[in-house]
Amino acid sequence: MQLIDGKALAQKVEKYVETEVEKLKQEKNIVPGLAVILVGDDPASHAYVKMKAKACEKVGFYSITHHMPETISQDEIIGTIEMMNTNPRIDGILVQLPLPKQIDTAKILEVIDPKKDVDGFHACNVGRLVTGLDSFVACTPLGVMKMFEEYKIDLKGKDVCVVGASNIVGKPMASLLLNANATVTITHIFTKDLKAHTSKADIIVVGTGVPGLIKEDMVKEGAIVIDIGINRIADGSLVGDVDFEHVAPKCSFITPVPGGVGPMTIAMLLSNTLKSAQQRS
């Protein structure tokens, strides 16, 4: 069993981004810029945005966070996004989800200029991904693909079971895997017999937010397990969607939680923002 070290790989990606940023500054006088919209006072969202700001600073990006009150109107958020769409210093626009109930998330995401949609959630980028065209791809699935590449895991012809069908993780993950010529099964909350699908899979990618959902008897010997879930349980510790202790011994590769997919999400956000700045240049 080999652990996939997301932390080490994320540092490698960040180092590459830092080098490219220096090059952009010297050759084109361009500093990549990332703008984040944060609505309300959700502690998890605040912690995540803080981590993003710190990562931006580390690689030499210009970054700004628009912190808005929980009671903000949809039109005010749209106005801020439109302003950033035309701001030449901003290469990436990110709206921290979830948004308050009074806001139509789909409408907000549609306002972002697809060329600055570094989270890869705009319908234009999603469509380009599905059709195999170059696009901005959601950061977490993109990070998983980077892991496969780093650990030389060949996806061609592999049976992959994606557990969870969210727009942010499951669906883009399935599209990326299909584009890499894997055979993909997507399971979700209404799937009748989850074990029947996972136990046949060469690779399981799970992101549901259900602690310990994937048990030892649901995984075949030698499988590769990618755990995207991150859950804080009663004792305060962080765990994934996989019963790591019992599943890990059966795997050829597995990601730990924390230290697996998590660090890759921010690394890919930096990578996408750099890509946008390079296209601007």
The catalytic site residues sit at: 52, 96, 119
- Closest to 194 in 3D by CA, of 163, 228, 158: 163
DSSP string, 187-256: E-TT-S-HHHHHTT-SEEEE-SS-TT-B-GGGS-TT-EEEE---EE-TTS-EE-SB-HHHHGGG-SEE--
Q: 206 is written with which tokens? A: 């799970």
CB-count burial class (<10 Å; 0-12, 13-18, 19+) for 232: exposed
Question: ω into residue 98 within 30 of 0, thus cis?
Answer: yes
Half-sphere exposure for 68 (CA within 13 Å, toward CB): 23
Q: Which residues pair with 160 in a beta bridge?
A: 184, 203
Distance CA 262, CA 124 (A): 26
Distance CA 227, CA 214 (A): 9
DSSP character at residue 36: E
DSSP character at residue 106: H
Q: How many CB atoms lie within 10 A of CB 158?
A: 18
Distance CA 160, CA 63 (A): 37
